[in-house]
Chain A
Amino acid sequence: EAGVTQFPSHSVIEKGQTVTLRCDPISGHDNLYWYRRVMGKEIKFLLHFVKESKQDESGMPNNRFLAERTGGTYSTLKVQPAELEDSGVYFCASSLSGGIETQYFGPGTRLLVL
């Protein structure tokens, strides 16, 4: 069974540019999460989808970040315009519904904003 995949693995952009990160969850997982780790700090929750609906977006830092989940399958996270402080590793995770379902994480996208 394929795990959570993320694309690209690395992205280097200049301040003010736009970047779009993609996440493909494990097939059949209704729950999809985005997290971010800024260098040296903890991994922080950004938002949670249930199928195509945003269940919790309390961790989104500001309106420069836009997350979508088309048809309840893959998800994209767009940063527009990117700022220096957006640099970090963006993780995606997915899980089944119900109970204490384990969140399975992807390898992350390393974003560097110059």
Chain B
Amino acid sequence: AQSVTQLGSHVSVSEGALVLLRCNYSSSVPPYLFWYVQYPNQGLQLLLKYTSAATLVKGINGFEAEFKKSETSFHLTKPSAHMSDAAEYFCAVRGSGTYKYIFGTGTRLKVLA
């Protein structure tokens, strides 16, 4: 069965500091992996997705994630945090042959001035 683990339900970083949000997955088939962001009172917005092409995936707003099969990880990074990055971030996996996403529990990012 597929699963996603997001380490850290809350992460705080200073403005301008590196953002690192962790995601580990479990999948018996080659996975498709996604990072979504939810700003207050809005829906989930796709940041980026991995679909077995390049292992380093670049997304919107300066975010990127690297697929590491050996570590079963898909961590999200951004070199320099901005106040507007404060939101909740969700990692999700979708296995081959299925449409449904399996989500992690989410990580709420706080950016300190």
Contacts and interface: CB of A to CB of B under 8 A. Distances in A.
Given A100-B49, A106-B43, A42 B99 contact: no
Contacts of A102: 34, 46, 49
A46 B26 CA distance: 20
Contact of B42 (A95, A100, A107): A107
A53 B69 CA distance: 36
A45 B51 contact: no
Interface residues of A, number: 27
B32 A43 contact: no
B90 interface: yes
Interface stretch (B17-25, B60-68, B78-86, B100-108): B100-108
Given A48-B100, A56-B99, A41 B105 contact: yes
Of the candidates A33, A43, A102, A106, the one having the most CB atoms from chain B within 10 angstroms of its own CB is A43
Contacts of B41: 107
B56 interface: no
A74 interface: no
A103 B99 CA distance: 9
Nearest to A44: B103
A53 to B, nearest CB: 13
Contact of B32 (A33, A58, A91, A100): A100
B29 interface: no
A75 interface: no
Of the candidates B42, B46, B100, B101, the one having the most CB atoms from chain A within 10 angstroms of its own CB is B100
A93 B90 CA distance: 15
B103 A59 contact: no
Given A3-B43, A58-B100, A107-B43, 9 more contacts: A31-B99, A35-B103, A42-B104, A45-B100, A48-B99, A56-B98, A93-B44, A102-B49, A105-B36
